[in-house]
Amino acid sequence: MDKTIIITGGAGFIGSHVVRRFVTKYPGYRIINLDALTYAGNLENLRDIENAPNYFFEKANILNTDDLERVFTLYQPDGIIHLAAESHVDRSILSPLDFVYTNVIGTVNLLNAAKQYWKDDSSGKRFYHISTDEVYGALGKTGFFTESTAYSPNSPYSASKASSDHFVRAYGETYHLPVIITNCSNNYGPNHFPEKLIPLFINNIITQKPLPVYGDGLYTRDWLYVKDHAAAIDLVFHEGKEHETYNIGGFNEWRNIDLVKLLCKLMDEKLGNVHGASEKLITYVKDRPGHDRRYAIDAAKINKELGWKPSVTFEEGLKLTIDWYFENKEWLTHVTSGEYQQYYNEQYTTR
């Protein structure tokens, strides 16, 4: 059956891959990209599909309830896939309240809009909230986050995402809203804003700037190629069970310093540098406060129940990512002008 789906945050990194996948794979669906176009939202991410007949863009803010009422009334959605958020831990340390507004209050506004709009009949509807593994806090040397791990957020970002997850769950229980949540590990890939580790370091190697490794560099993350996350979101949206939570991860743990060295090697190959040239840019800098030591996802549930698994290895995904940045230097120049410079100076000049 054809559907009308509002995807919030569709102009951002992960959202743009989800929008593209749904617009091209389901020509019978109407896909509405609802995005406020903050510093992280970029319509250049969607140039290739912006004229598709089933794609609609609405510049709207989830903090503005009039905006939400207008878009819901205009399109009458059957589904919401909610990705709009403030998403960067370092920015959350600089200005936590922005994260409370967008991630907590914005999510509750969206829940209220869906509740109001579907009040007479929510059968066949779906409110799908995209969240992060960071809500679970930090792991020691061993163990994994499962769907039953207790929430223990350590950064303002993860605290705001944890809070939004709780509200989504509560609206499912209290108002029987047909909700579903996924918690995913660190994504990487094309269109990633160069304030996060991998695209920042690709950009800094291209521009020959220092590679600022926080603390001892032994922090561990579980990395997933963004298109594999988009495939998981497609699967969960269609096949996931209402009121359930699924963890999504890459089965792919890397210590930051090992990842950075692999990235340097691949960049040297791409640039035709002698081996070791990019590694010379590695600079250890002051640690991030409240830095979570290790994240690792147990993705057995989504694998067993829905048959999802990642499609590319980390080295394949990194090569695809590097190739994309080299083919899209103009994109990189556009997003690193203006406000980015101000953020970069504030974040790195005193470290």
Catalytic residues: 133-134, 157
Q: Which of 122, 158, 163, 187 binds ligand NAD (CB under 6 A)?
A: 187
3-state DSSP: the chain helix, strand, coil percent, rounded to 5? 45, 15, 35
Q: Which of 63, 170, 281, 285 binds ligand NAD (CB under 6 A)?
A: 63
122 vs 187 by CB, closer to ligand NAD = 187
| Nearest residue to 190 (alpha-carbon basis) of 94, 286, 323, 291 | 323
Query: Which structure tokens are listed for 70?
Result: 């207008």
Q: Smallest gap, in angstroms, from Cβ of residue 344 to ligand NAD?
A: 16
Sign of CA dihedral 12, 300, 219, 326: negative
Contact 151, 217 (CB under 8 A): no
Which residues are bridge partners to 129 per DSSP?
82, 181
Angle, CA of 308, 310 and 312, to the nearest 5°:
150
Contact 86, 103 (CB under 8 A): yes
Q: Smallest gap, in angstroms, from Cβ of residue 213 to ligand TYD?
A: 5
Q: Which of 34, 46, 89, 224 binds ligand TYD (CB under 6 A)?
A: 89
Q: Which of 129, 221, 227, 229 binds ligand TYD (CB under 6 A)?
A: 221
180 binds ligand NAD (CB under 6 A): no
Contact 296, 249 (CB under 8 A): yes
160 binds ligand NAD (CB under 6 A): no
37 binds ligand NAD (CB under 6 A): yes
Contacts to ligand TYD from residues 176-215, by CB under 6 A: 186, 196-197, 200, 212-214
- Alpha helices, DSSP H, located in the chain: 13-25, 65-75, 89-94, 96-99, 106-117, 156-175, 197-206, 226-239, 256-271, 300-306, 314-327, 329-335, 339-348
Q: What x-and-dash track marks residues 144-183 binding ligand TYD by CB under 6 A?
A: ----------------------------------------
190 binds ligand NAD (CB under 6 A): no
Contact residues for ligand NAD, defined by CB under 6 A: 8-9, 11-15, 35-38, 40-41, 61-63, 83-85, 87, 102, 106, 130-132, 161, 184, 186-187, 193
